[in-house]
Amino acid sequence: MRAYPSNSVTPSSGTVKAVRGAVVDVVFTESDLPPLNSALVVEWDKPTPLILEVHSHLTINTLRAVAFQSTAGLARGVTVRATGSPVTVPVGDAVLGRLLDVVGDPKDNGPALPQDTPRRPIHALAPLLKSQISTTDMFETGIKVIDLLTPMAQGGKAAMFGGAGVGKTVLVMELIRAMVEKYEGISVFAGIGERSREGHELLTEMRDSGVIERTVLVYGQMNEPPGARWRAPLTALTISEYFRDQQHRNVLLLMDNVFRFVQAGAEVSSLLGRLPSRVGYQPTLASEVAGLQERIASVAGSAVTAIQAVYVPADDFTDPAVTTISSHMDCVIMLSRAKAAEGFYPAIDPLGSSSMLLDPLVVGEAHYQTADAVRQTLARFQELADIISLLGVEELGVADRQIVKRARRLQRFLTQPFMVTEAFTGTPGASVPLTDTLAGCRAILAGETDDWSESSLYMVGTLEDARQKEAHGKASDTSVTAAP
């Protein structure tokens, strides 16, 4: 049984009064009720401990708590021990390279953590505003459309919003792979409501690529109770804060999927008997999201960079959960089902996505002007889409036909083969430096590729790769024509 440090509250014992799925009512007749958010340990006869977290005081001697593990087999009258402190999780170098659950127990079939591993409570306040730092250093990802139109900040918060099946997890895995290779800090991955298959794939890939030794994986999986999915991001955040505050190391915090955190909170809220709010979400939606996001902050000497995937239910970007999460982000990347249907991967909507860093004072005048010209060209092409579908391109003026030609080439140039999909597509992945991305877009806007085949620009890395593809295509055409 894990040991919990004692606060000023004296640990006491109670008994289980009622069990409603993941919610347990406990009676303390001999002592005062434990404080909210403190941990309770159920002393039952199962081999694995059952941890509860106090969430409401119902009467003077009865409380309602949320379970972090399955309550199957829990009976009324079982003894419950109060710890007097919040749930604590192991932190520090001992957890590097390990896969943990919400309460910090290793789940990778590896050895137990050392007894002297430091522990920290999962509940903490955000750093004081005066101690936080803002950074404008760009976090180059090697993904063309992100670096060009939605640059990420080192020490900032970026989120990828998209419906089911548009490529959020693939994009997160590519970012992990691309960044960890150049990134010398610690990576902490929070799998919230993930499928077991996705978790296994990520663990295997990190072991194969040799980056697992600088990574911590925290999972609250889809088959676990809502309490585990609800607190998994806090566990990952606590580990990140330790590396930031105690070891002064940069941390890359990845979360997939933050919507499952909100969804788990809604389940818990219903189980606790609270009336639902708009669209059935919990009434505490805004404060729960803020409590998580405001802890993701950088302080002098060390930065926490957060990249989060967010599922968009029914592709409704006005959903309260989506709008609440996006309000905390520096960089918002929207994934479009229409782009995915057309075969443009990554399926990022260049007009719907935005970044606070896309400013001439931050990225420089040349980058800003190129990005602005690309956006204007793509926006004009979108405006002309209805006319083209009704009358055809031939009915447009000369200037608009030229815009359409270059916009179609820009769309294809901003696609990119990923390293994590090599095994499925057979196409080698490409990581493109920002300078090559800018040079390629400027060349397309200047008309250098007007005579090229559109397919030459599709799923390539740099413009030089596209030039070789075009030359190879022309050589193939010539050989076919010359054949008897």
Active site residues: 168, 194-195
User: Quick one: how many helices (H) and strands (E) in the chain?
Assistant: 14, 18
Does residue 346 have a cis peptide bond before it, meaning omega lies within 30 degrees of 0?
A: yes
Q: What angle separates helix 365-391 from helix 434-445, to the nearest 10 degrees?
A: 50
Report how far Cα 60 is from the mean position of its chain's Cα atoms: 41
**Coil, strand or helix: which one is 328?**
coil
Using the CB atoms, write b or e for 253-265: b if 16+ within 10 Å. bbbbbbbbbbbbb
Rounded CA-CA distance 257/162 in Å is 11
Contact 118, 104 (CB under 8 A): no
In the numeric block, the tokens 């969804």 are attached to 263
Rounded CA-CA distance 28/76 in Å is 13
Rounded CA-CA distance 74/54 in Å is 17
- Element holding 23 (H helix, E strand): strand 23-27
Rounded CA-CA distance 294/406 in Å is 42
Rounded CA-CA distance 484/482 in Å is 6
Using the CB atoms, write b or e for 281-318: b if 16+ within 10 Å. bbebbeebbeebbebbbbbeebbbbbbbbbbbeeeeee
Total residue count of the chain as it appears in this document: 484
Rounded CA-CA distance 94/112 in Å is 10
Q: What angle separates helix 463-482 from helix 434-445, to the nearest 10 degrees?
A: 60
Q: Residue 140, class by beta-carbon neighbours within 10 Å (0-12 exposed, 13-18 middle, 19+ buried)?
A: buried
- Runs of H (alpha helix) within 308-364: 320-326, 337-341, 360-363
